[in-house]
Structure 1
Amino acid sequence: MSVTINDIARLSGVSKRTVSRVINCSPAVGKATRERVLEIIKETGFSPDKQARGLASSRSYLLGLIYDNPDALYIDEVQRGALSVCAELGYELVVHPGSSKRDDFISDCLSFISRSKLDGVIILPPVSENKALAAALREINCPYVRLASVDLDDADNIVVSDERAAMRDMATHLVELGHTDIGFISGPQHYRSSIERLAGFLAELQVYNVKLPTDRIVEGKNNYDSGLACAEQLLNTLPRPTAIVANNDEMAAAVLRVANNLNIRVPDELSVAGFDDNILASRIIPSLTTIRRPVFNMACLAVQKLINKSRNNQEKLALQKTVTPNLVTRESTGRVNG
């Protein structure tokens, strides 16, 4: 026989209404009571009927994830973070990859939200930079949270990764190792994240009076193949730069491959750095110096903010808006020889 909410109430020594409040994450339940009810739920394996919960509260307990990003490792990290909170609070996550270049992109997103009956959506970069999409979501009163590299919205609607500040730390790291001739593989310059990362790097180099000539900056597409082409361009130019920074780890890995093909020793003859600290960064040889962007935590925050929005007049949690990526130094960067 399946366990019911009445069974949980009886075993916990509380009312059915209190159990319902615990299930629906109401702050109107004391900590001790909440923990007792959750323990009984765990012991019995009770699983609330999400459809019944939705009918009772006019919520579906479904959250959406909208993205147009070719980086599979980034998407995986976002999903793991979002699902960790969804699982804890009784929500499900529905993903919707799209093409932001299509004329019907916004209408496609709105159709996805409508047919899935979502309680809210998380929007990933570069789609999160789309002002028209955000405006359309406000128009239909769909709660949303944007993950972005710049402050584009109200605090409740955004989680910002301060990538400009992080790249200043990267520039300082390389200059302190003696590098003054540096190459930079940027991401697409119509993405705000690419602009922020390059701007932060250039700003910090200026502090040290180190110049980055335009011919040392090559625009990539944030994928491995474009990283190969950009690395070949920079490393087949004499004199070669003593360090190359890539806009993401995938392109940085491509730099390592080109350096290996050209018998350029890393880091003895060339330092290489990336951005993201995805799962491969610590596993490739040499391990990659990079910027660790707290993607998992950003996704957790985004889900928490969406659930905050559904609490109506109940007490809401105070959640931060900005997270700070940090520099992770590994084997791929070293002092300039000579």
Structure 2
Amino acid sequence: MKKAPRAQDPASETPRRRPTINDIARLAGVSKKTVSRVINASPFVHAETRERIQAVIAELGYAPDPQARGLAYGRSFLIGLVYDNPNPQYVVNMQLGLLDGMRGSGFELVVHPCDRESPTFLEDLRAFVERQRLYGVVLTPSVSEDERAARLMAEIGCAYVRVASVSLDAPEHMIETRDRLGGREAAGHLADLGHTRIGFISGPPTFRSSHERRSGFEEALAERGLTLARPYALAGGYTFESGIERGRELLSMDPRPTAIFAANDEMAAGVLQAARQLGLEIPRDVSVVGFDDFQIASRLWPALTTVRTPTREIGRLAVERLLGRDDDERDPKKRLPSLVVRDSTAPPPL
């Protein structure tokens, strides 16, 4: 009986050669320079030629090698995200936004967590930029609020964009999040519900956003003839644990506040936990408002009323500005804070 031919071991097969830019140029019938222009999103390529090149790229599954491109152009095609932020969801949402804005650009993202309080903060930041030969960086709070970091980028010739709650630099270097407006939204909502005895948990004093959110909150209360009493204003750390600690302090006061505005969702979640530990019901006994509208806000019980900050949209805009691709005609309201009312707020108890 004749044996069937033995199947070839896949591991022994010769691996398929990775396509090169020369292959793309040959198959598309254009020069390598024209392919390079399409890869780098240059507007100086005829639409029909661009479509033909993109079809070949898609068919071959070609992806530019950032290191090789860096050698050819004397710089890397890497963009750095620099952050010192205790809220991991902020970092994740910012990364997603940056990747949205980089799509189709040929650039790649690298991240650099840091500690502004470290004595080697600037030294480490310089080493990160120079070692990676970065095209540019996006600086997020609280690094973006540190003038030393901005000066360092200018000194070493690295393009940068700062994301901050207020304008701190020239327009081409700034994305302003207007956190003060968000604080006003929170205050207006609670005051309109009839709350007059309101607690506030701020973020760390090293974050400009902490001060902006509080300032907007107090401004809107004052416009309604209300004040934030000093005993009801406590400093948190933008963490869940600090929300529990400060929440227990506020809810153990006599009289306790009928509402609490926590300056981010992590701390607001901590306040909900503290309320449960003390046998209180949200919102029957106390209303709670957060800030950010990250995924956690809609998954809590009760679902959290919060101020939405479109972090992902802000990240996308930041990297597009860095690459000179941002559209000034885009509706600016899309990146402003806005109130999202859910189940954690109600009129004060009688």
Distance in 2 between residues matched to 1:51 and 1:237, nearest whole Å: 59
2:223 equivalent to 1:207:
yes
Distance in 1 between residues matched to 2:37 and 2:297, nearest whole Å: 43
2:268 alignment partner, one of 235, 240, 252: 252
1:163 alignment partner, one of 172, 179, 202: 179
Residue of structure 1 in register with 2:139 after alignment? 123
What is the Cα deviation at residue 240 of structure 1?
1.4
Report the more deviating stretch, 41-50 or 321-330. Answer: 321-330
Q: How does 1:8-27 map to 2 (within 5 A)?
A: 8-27=24-43
Query: Given residue 335 of structure 1, which amino acid in structure 2 is its aligned partner?
Result: P
Report the more deviating stretch, 64-73 or 249-258. Answer: 64-73
Residue of structure 1 in register with 2:336 after alignment? 324
What is the Cα deviation at residue 277 of structure 1?
1.0
Asked if the contact 2:201–2:236 (Cα under 8 Å) also holds between the matched residues in 1, the reply is yes
Distance in 1 between residues matched to 2:48 and 2:309, nearest whole Å: 35
What is the Cα deviation at residue 55 of structure 1?
2.4
What is the Cα deviation at residue 260 of structure 1?
0.9
Change (3 A) 1:36 1:298: farther
2:233 equivalent to 1:217:
yes
2:305 equivalent to 1:289:
yes
Residue of structure 1 in register with 2:112 after alignment? 96
2:53 equivalent to 1:41:
no
Distance in 2 between residues matched to 1:332 and 1:163, nearest whole Å: 21
2:315 equivalent to 1:303:
no
What is the Cα deviation at residue 152 of structure 1?
0.4
What is the Cα deviation at residue 13 of structure 1?
4.8
| Structure 2: tracts of 5 or more residues without a match | 1-16
Residue of structure 1 in register with 2:123 after alignment? 107
Residue of structure 2 in register with 1:334 after alignment? 346
Distance in 2 between residues matched to 1:230 and 1:265, nearest whole Å: 17
Change (3 A) 1:152 1:217: same
Query: Given residue 221 of structure 1, which amino acid in structure 2 is its aligned partner?
Result: G
What is the Cα deviation at residue 49 of structure 1?
2.6
What is the Cα deviation at residue 147 of structure 1?
1.0
What is the Cα deviation at residue 164 of structure 1?
0.5
Larger Rg over CA atoms: 2
Residue of structure 2 in register with 1:238 after alignment? 254
What is the Cα deviation at residue 46 of structure 1?
0.9
Residue of structure 2 in register with 1:313 after alignment? none
Distance in 1 between residues matched to 2:65 and 2:315, nearest whole Å: 25
2:80 equivalent to 1:54:
no
Distance in 2 between residues matched to 1:35 and 1:250, nearest whole Å: 46
SS at match of 1:79: helix
Distance in 2 between residues matched to 1:162 and 1:39, nearest whole Å: 42
| Structure 1: tracts of 5 or more residues without a match | 309-315
Residue of structure 2 in register with 1:77 after alignment? 93
What is the Cα deviation at residue 173 of structure 1?
1.1
Report the more deviating stretch, 285-294 or 54-63. Answer: 54-63
What is the Cα deviation at residue 59 of structure 1?
2.5
TM-score under structure 2 length normalisation: 0.89
2:212 equivalent to 1:196:
yes
What is the Cα deviation at residue 30 of structure 1?
4.2
Identity of aligned residues (%): 46
> Once the two structures are superposed, what CA deviation does each residue of 1:187-210 show, in whole Å capped at 9, x if it has no partner?
122321000000001001111111
Residue of structure 2 in register with 1:179 after alignment? 195
Query: Given residue 167 of structure 2, which amino acid in structure 1 is its aligned partner?
Result: D
